């Protein structure tokens, strides 16, 4: 047999590396339609973002965003944002609320998730059901209760501000949902690791600190990211609870640039929205390392 004939025979008998069969005509058509839908969805998301970026740096934009204006690079909208508004105060307030919310949520959730996963105690199932039911109640539905709680606490402790009340609301809501999520994640960690650590003389706290938490770093990173992003994205509660513009968060503060004709400046709003994304993206980049490295840590004894 000639070498050329042998190569042709090998090609015919060659097995696919994948278990999947070649796409049929209908399969190719559906794949093409899927790409069309994904491309259209990407355009729907990216076009407003691109318009926001262009408008933030376009010096020809004045009070309103005009899509047909010629582009002229300028930083005047950022200058207006920093010098004519309370933007820096809004940033400081939002970072304070977001960091405190993330820290409080992480500390409490790490303990409650571990306790619900590894211990059996009276009222465990009932409290888990209560946690699930709490999530069905909208946060805004308790606005009257929040005002009452703030009035009672501030009468006892005058230093208790509305921002602190907002932190408790965000952390309280996050603790309930994230406890259930973290419990499910820790349930997937073998209890044999706990038993081996206890044989070596570790206490329950050492098992929690040296075994469970390092392995649970990926989920803790996600919880931290969710808790941090929440105050940046929420407009309703800060707008209702915070009455002083100097105490506004970014969402509530930037909204004043588009909802009031006296302070209307849509390009400055676009510039503020662009800057708001920076700390969230930075935190995501930092925590992304934990999502990868946390999976291989904690279960290896040194």
Q: When comparing pLDDT for 252 and 148, which is higher?
A: 252
Residue 301: predicted pLDDT: 41
- Say if residues 259 and 58 touch (Cβ distance below 8 Å): no
Structural domain contains residue 13: no
CATH code assigned at 190: 1.10.3720.10
Residue 92: predicted pLDDT: 94
Average pLDDT, the chain: 82
Instruction: Provide CB contacts within 8 A for 191, sequence distance 6+.
Output: 118
Does 302 have pLDDT greater than 50? no
Tokens linked to 142: 């308790």
Does 30 have pLDDT greater than 80? yes
Strand partners, 58: 73
Widest CA span of the chain, in angstroms? Answer: 98
Domain containing residue 266 = 84-296
Does 187 have pLDDT greater than 70? yes
Structural domain contains residue 280: yes
Residue 298: predicted pLDDT: 41
Structural domain contains residue 264: yes
Structural domain contains residue 160: yes
Does 102 have pLDDT greater than 70? yes
């Amino acid at each position: 047999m000639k070498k050329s004939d042998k190569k042709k025979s090998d090609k015919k008998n060659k097995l696919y590396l994948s278990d999947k069969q070649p796409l049929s005509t209908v399969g190719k058509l559906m794949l093409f339609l899927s790409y069309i839908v994904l491309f259209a969805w990407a355009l729907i998301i990216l076009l407003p973002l691109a318009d926001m970026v262009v408008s933030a740096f376009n010096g020809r934009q004045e009070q309103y965003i005009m899509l047909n204006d010629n582009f002229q690079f300028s930083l005047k909208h950022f200058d207006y944002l920093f010098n004519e508004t309370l933007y820096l105060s809004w940033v400081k307030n939002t970072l304070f609320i977001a960091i405190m919310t993330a820290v409080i949520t992480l500390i409490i959730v790490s303990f409650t998730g571990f306790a619900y996963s590894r211990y059996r105690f009276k009222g465990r199932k009932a409290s888990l059901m209560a946690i699930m039911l709490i999530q069905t109640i909208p946060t805004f539905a308790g606005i009257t209760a929040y005002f009452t709680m703030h009035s009672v606490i501030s009468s006892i402790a005058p230093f208790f501000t509305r921002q602190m009340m907002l932190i408790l609301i965000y952390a309280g809501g996050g603790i309930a949902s994230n406890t259930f999520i973290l419990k499910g994640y820790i349930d997937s960690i073998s209890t044999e690791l706990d038993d081996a650590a206890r044989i070596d003389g570790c206490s329950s706290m050492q098992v929690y600190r040296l075994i469970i938490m390092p392995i649970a770093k990926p989920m803790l990173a996600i919880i931290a990211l969710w808790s941090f992003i929440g105050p940046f994205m929420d407009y309703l509660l800060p707008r209702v609870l915070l009455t002083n513009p100097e105490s506004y968060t970014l969402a509530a503060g930037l909204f004043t640039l588009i909802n009031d004709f006296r302070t209307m400046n849509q390009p400055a709003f676009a510039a503020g929205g662009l800057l708001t994304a920076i700390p969230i993206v930075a935190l995501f980049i930092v925590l992304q390392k934990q999502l990868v490295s946390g999976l291989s840590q904690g279960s290896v004894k040194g």
